Structure 1
Amino acid sequence: MRERQKILALVLAVLVLTVLAVILWLPSRSVKGSVDFGIRDENSNFHYEVGEQLSFVVSDSGLVRGKDLLWELGNGDTLHRNPIASYTYKQAGKYLVTLRLEGRLLASRYIQIVQAGEITAIDSVPRISGVHEAYQDEELTFSAVGQGADTWLWEFGETGTVDAYERQVNYAYEKPGNYTIRLNTNTTKYPIEHKITILPRFEKAEEVVAVDSLGLAQEDIRRRLQIIANTSVRDKSRYREQINYIRSTYFCSPAGEIAVVVNGDKYNDFLGYCQGLHFLESNPKRRVQIREVKIDNLHCVTTLQVTQTTIEQ
């Protein structure tokens, strides 16, 4: 009996020591904080292309320094890299990229790999970005969205002639009515059309103080995008707060369907653009300054025209 008690006590002692060892060992092996990663494409055109080298970069390398990271590329391939992994996809498709540490999921993201020829074909088809309803004498902004064109001929349907020749133009209708805006470019065989209804202006009796609602909205969005660019990658709550505010205040469509045109020639969806802004904060030598934001509609934005510069520090 005494022998069995000794054996039982020895087993219990071993179990207690094992539990204590695990408790002491776990903190040193765990990752504290929220780990995420960003994706950089080789030609910086915001598209992930077949044959292009992509870099998967941990947003805060200090959280995983010295640890063995496993990158799962979604097509059966894996890489052991820390904190940057480079990879080239050979086939187009949608892939789930997953980052793991010792079997534990840290972050994952779907990416779409496309053929380079598809990008040119899609982006070269222009379209008109602008409101569909406005008031008489209200100054409106219209933009030609799409790559490849370098000649733009705008007809706003009121004068019967060509009214403007720039990629982004302003126009105010003198008379109410229904109009068809036509845009001819050097890359299109037929004009692109855009319907608009101009409502009569009623405040003729007395002079009123004009409120530039569109300008206030554009400055509001610009300021919040700058906050995203300045926010630490660890501060997820502030990052999401700005995105949710812009989305609920100005969008009628899902944020992933809102186009962002950067400096007139680089394209991305709203969520991808904001993720890129937030991720750049991790590089202390580069900062993004949001200079100006233009929107195509005050209440149902579909396109953001962003002018920004990168400051090397």
Structure 2
Amino acid sequence: MTERQKIILAIVAALAVVGLLVALLLPSRTVEKNLDFFIQDRNANNQLEVNELLKFTINDSTAVIDKRVLWKMGNGDSIVGHPNISYAYRQAGKYLITLQVDGKIITEKTIDVVNIQRDTIAVDSIPKIVGPTQGYAGEKLVFSAEGNGMTSWLWEFGESGTIDAFDRQVIYKYDEPGKYLVKLKTNTTLYPVSHVITILPKVEDIVKDPNKLDSLEKAEPKDTLAMVQNDIKKHLQAIANTSPRDRNTFYAHRNHIINNYLGGNGNQVVVQINGERYNVFPDYCQGLHFLESNRYGRVTIDDVKVDDFHHITKIEVTQRNTGK
């Protein structure tokens, strides 16, 4: 081997050593082949929406440490240097999301961003009941709902103790004279609107007994369903206030509700508490009675609703713990 060849061989060997040292000293630029990312919508409704802050997360953030990460959002926007990002799209459409690491495309995903139309219907006025303020027993009377935005109507005329009609305009006939509270619940209001009507006896009855008109003038409006609900509420509150040791008072109030409103069988009636929990009526009363002595303290009954005045199968109770 000549001197020249020895020099060339030495240079090649030196370069190989330098290359090996550089490879060992510099951080690895390879990227895991299984690197991926997923997208999370913040409101968890499984839709990617306009103006919703979406979260883009790499499945293994440690794999991109000391590497150049580039997100291309598919609409001209790019985000550099952050392995996990949040981003909101301002317009609906399909977008190709590209994840690049060290200049190499790792993965691409197409997403569909939608524009959800929110309910922006404005209610211009509170519903009003248009109907007579006076009528006769047995007379067909016309009532109608006036207002904007209504799509459902629930009428209670105060005599039957339940919902009587479901149309915007209805015809109703009262069987008995008296003052009645007409209530209308629609989709546009949280609470029903009301209207007072006086139902006079039939003409022949007035002729027989003129004093009936005087008693009607002094009468309070009847709301049969509300009277039942308020009476149940009163006796449930009495149960909640009764000492756990006072069994006689407990049974008196419980049996009053069972015998007067539940057909003598409370086991066939379901109680729903605060729109969530369920009990049969006797079990609910038993728990209500003993709550006074537990750590949660007394219970206040705020509201009671029944499903049907004539045949109650469900009682909805709204209650709260008010302390000892």
TM bucket, shorter chain: 0.3 to 0.5
Asked which structure has the greater RCO (Cα within 8 Å, sep 6+), the reply is 1
Which one has the largest radius of gyration?
Answer: 2
TM-score (norm 2): 0.35
TM-score (norm 1): 0.36
